Structure 1
Amino acid sequence: MGNTDDFFSSNQKLPSKIKTEIVRKYLRAWSVILSSKHKKIGYVDLFSGTGYFIDKDGHREPSTPIEVMEFCACYYRDMAKNFYIHFNEPNVEYFNALSENLKNHRMWPHIQRRLTLTHEFISAENLEEFIRPYPCLYFLDPFGYGGYSIESISKILSGRGNDILFFFNFNRFNMDISHPSEKIKSQSEIFLGVESKAELLEKIHSLHGREKQKAIVDHIWSALENCLPEKCYVVPFEFEFQDKERTSHYLVFVSKNITGRKIAREVMSGLRTEEGGEFRFSLKKSQKTQGLFSNYYLLGDLLLKRFSRQQVTVREIINIYDTENPRNSYVDKDYKDSLKQLREQGIIAVEKPDGKRVPDSQMPDTSIVTFLR
């Protein structure tokens, strides 16, 4: 397992809050869909921690295990009676604290028969042992990137209804991949596989900075997208060092369900920020940026280029662009805000199917957009 780095050198504050919020919100949306189709669903967290983290003021804040218990408390009558949980924490001290914190939670008497609590060392070789025979949301959050591999992730995803969120230490991986120590280099080889790592090293041989980062993550995202016979979808949430202008970590969502991808994007888009204390958090290419037209979303430029001189509905624009660019991170609001801005500049015309004008504040799915350039 990779070592900790300066991302974890101070109280985790906003990073932990954002991770926890993404998991909590996705779990709720995922469980509503899956519980209507399956008699049994679950949540598996193999690096659970203590259940709490300490914020910048020294206050104790709930992390994912306690938030999952709160989820059970809120929705117990609806579906939590068919909801099963597996928490695992390899660290002895953390495990003991987690056990105590869970048993002190008000939901413990109600959920304990469907909650498994283990203290096992997790590796890419034994992770398969923790895969459940029913649909689960899996969360992997080790300090480094050890404990799982592309192959083990594919085994999780092969299960019906399974989705996964994992915290990937890009900063550590980037340093380790070409490290002189065979022991350290082996971690990246375990994660990618021997052949895949060799391919990546060839790709990045003469690259540096952002170009190198792009090549690395493109390689990893592609490996995840193609880890099963059916198409998988990847949605990464990027954590950046504010003072170093480089990426620290990614919280990566992977699913073979396109609806899951849509939900994950919506959840992450509600949490993206340009600044967040020590770190910035962003969904790639989602912030406002200077494009061809002043104060426009970059997306507006892309849509103008793709649909130049065409007449299409708003929903067709979203569906076509999304299909052609499956790794994009835009949500419906991004598309509609961009179209509104293009309309303000007189670059597109928007009308209802009956030919009537669409109010400036609206951009319904059925609206017909005419690109004038």
Structure 2
Amino acid sequence: MNQDFFDEQTEQSRKKAKIVHDYFVAWARVIKSHWTGPIGYIDLYCGPGKYSDGTPSVPLLIINEILNDSELASRMFLVFNDADGENIRKLEEEIKAIPKSEDIIKRIAFSTNIVDGEFWEKIRINPQIPVLSYIDPFGYKGLTIELIKKLLASKGSDCIFFFNYNRINMAFSSNPYFDEHLSALFGKEKTTRLKKELASLAPSEREKTVIDALVETLKENTADYVLPFKFYCTDMKRTSHYIIFVTKHIAGCRIMKSIMYTNSAKDVDAVASFELKDRANFGSQSEQLSLFSRPLDELCELLKEKYKGRSENIKVICNEIVYDNCSVFMPNNVKDALRRLENEGVVKIEGRKKATINGLKTMPDEAFAIFM
């Protein structure tokens, strides 16, 4: 890890840490209520725990959350790894300085392993323990599909990883030196195909093609749900990286999508772009009205086409739209689209107990939408 990274926390790093922290809190609450055994957390590129200005990074946010919950503190087992031994030494010191850290320190494994292409073969994870894993490399070497598969193997396990789109995009454009690392994530055949396909594409098309290929690879190998969240470079409106959430469980997808929605830029229709529009690049205006395309308009057309001539439960419609991996929509967006279609006479809603609340037409989950 580049040590300059920990000089001062950027807006991008702050948002990333918030998303990881908020998901850990929600995930631990769910696991705790459905599982009586030990619970695991793994951070493979943990860093020193604090930035030079004293701002805590993800490991200390997680530790403080655990120590505020006595039951969680008695059940958690953690792994903090960083190839830089000095980072590990600093992190261990920071944790020991936290009041009541003796409640958790004995269940933390600190290590200085290099996470390379073969690392997945060395790591040992109890298959009976649900684990949340966080992989935040400076580049992408060591980020392999086999590692992600292993981290997701046990029931209840989820993974959040940093996907350095900027570097991976360049690797796809360059000589075969990087093919080994690309193949470890995308597979050899897909890497070869992507290099040919990307050569003729415009930058925006390249990005969509790479992200679609990543989602496809993850779903082919280990995941049922994949959620990307986009970040821009600190000095230009160009994609820097994504954090990618991977899970086998719709409950995990539901929780993380809600967290990402809360932390995302949104348009005037409250449709999220699932990205951080940082102040350096976008100023204070994170909401914009497009003159050309509004996602809610597209959603209305999708609903009309998908459900034409059908009667369907509103909750079912929301789930089918929202938990499609390609969808940026949330249940509130789907219900707004249904209200618009009802006003246009395209949809009739049956099963309401109250027609309106505060002047807004209700869209209860148990009601049915009848499409003309």
TM-score normalized by structure 1?
A: 0.84
Q: Which residue number in structure 2 is paired with residue 301 of structure 1?
A: 301
Conservation of the 8 A alpha-carbon contact between 1:146 and 1:191? no
Matched, 1:104 2:100: no
Deviation at 1:149, TM superposition (A): 0.6
Q: Please show how residues 254-273 of structure 1 align to structure 2 within 5 Å.
A: 254-273=246-265
Distance (whole Å) between structure 2 residues aligned to residue 294 and residue 344 of structure 1: 18
Deviation at 1:169, TM superposition (A): 0.3
Matched, 1:26 2:35: no
Q: Which residue number in structure 2 is paired with residue 206 of structure 1?
A: 200
Deviation at 1:291, TM superposition (A): 8.8
Amino acid at match of 1:327: C
Deviation at 1:300, TM superposition (A): 3.1
Deviations 1:50-95 (A, max 9, x none): 11235xxxx432211111111112222x332111111112123322
Amino acid at match of 2:280: E
TM-score normalized by structure 2?
A: 0.84
Deviation at 1:345, TM superposition (A): 5.6
Amino acid at match of 2:233: F
Deviation at 1:271, TM superposition (A): 0.6
Corresponding residue SS for 1:273: coil
Q: Which residue number in structure 2 is paired with residue 170 of structure 1?
A: 165
Structure 2 residue ranges without an equivalent (≥5) = 267-276
Amino acid at match of 1:277: R
Deviation at 1:117, TM superposition (A): 1.3
Conservation of the 8 A alpha-carbon contact between 1:352 and 1:358? no
Corresponding residue SS for 1:191: helix
Deviation at 1:299, TM superposition (A): 2.6
Q: Which residue number in structure 2 is paired with residue 195 of structure 1?
A: 189
Q: Which residue number in structure 1 is paired with residue 271 of structure 2?
A: none
Query: Which stretch shifts more, 357-366 or 130-139?
Result: 357-366
Distance (whole Å) between structure 1 residues aligned to residue 244 and residue 363 of structure 2: 31
Q: Which residue number in structure 1 is paired with residue 351 of structure 2?
A: 352
Conservation of the 8 A alpha-carbon contact between 1:290 and 1:296? no
Deviations 1:24-57 (A, max 9, x none): 1111221222223240111100101111235xxx
Q: Which residue number in structure 1 is paired with residue 338 of structure 2?
A: 339
From the superposition, tell whether residues 347 and 279 of structure 1 become closer, same or farther in structure 2 (CA, over 3 Å). farther
Matched, 1:156 2:154: no
Distance (whole Å) between structure 2 residues aligned to residue 279 and residue 138 of structure 1: 30
Distance (whole Å) between structure 2 residues aligned to residue 142 and residue 114 of structure 1: 24
Deviations 1:269-298 (A, max 9, x none): 111126321357xxxxx9876599979454
Structure 1 residue ranges without an equivalent (≥5) = 281-285
Deviation at 1:128, TM superposition (A): 4.1
Corresponding residue SS for 1:329: coil
Conservation of the 8 A alpha-carbon contact between 1:312 and 1:369? yes
How many pairs does the alignment contain?
A: 353
Q: Please show how residues 38-57 of structure 1 align to structure 2 within 5 Å.
A: 38-53=36-51
Amino acid at match of 2:69: Y
Distance (whole Å) between structure 1 residues aligned to residue 347 and residue 256 of structure 2: 30
Q: Which residue number in structure 1 is paired with residue 272 of structure 2?
A: none
Q: Which residue number in structure 1 is paired with residue 13 of structure 2?
A: 16
Q: Which residue number in structure 2 is paired with residue 311 of structure 1?
A: 311
Distance (whole Å) between structure 2 residues aligned to residue 267 and residue 296 of structure 1: 20
Q: Which residue number in structure 1 is paired with residue 270 of structure 2?
A: none
Conservation of the 8 A alpha-carbon contact between 1:289 and 1:296? no
Distance (whole Å) between structure 2 residues aligned to residue 13 and residue 155 of structure 1: 31
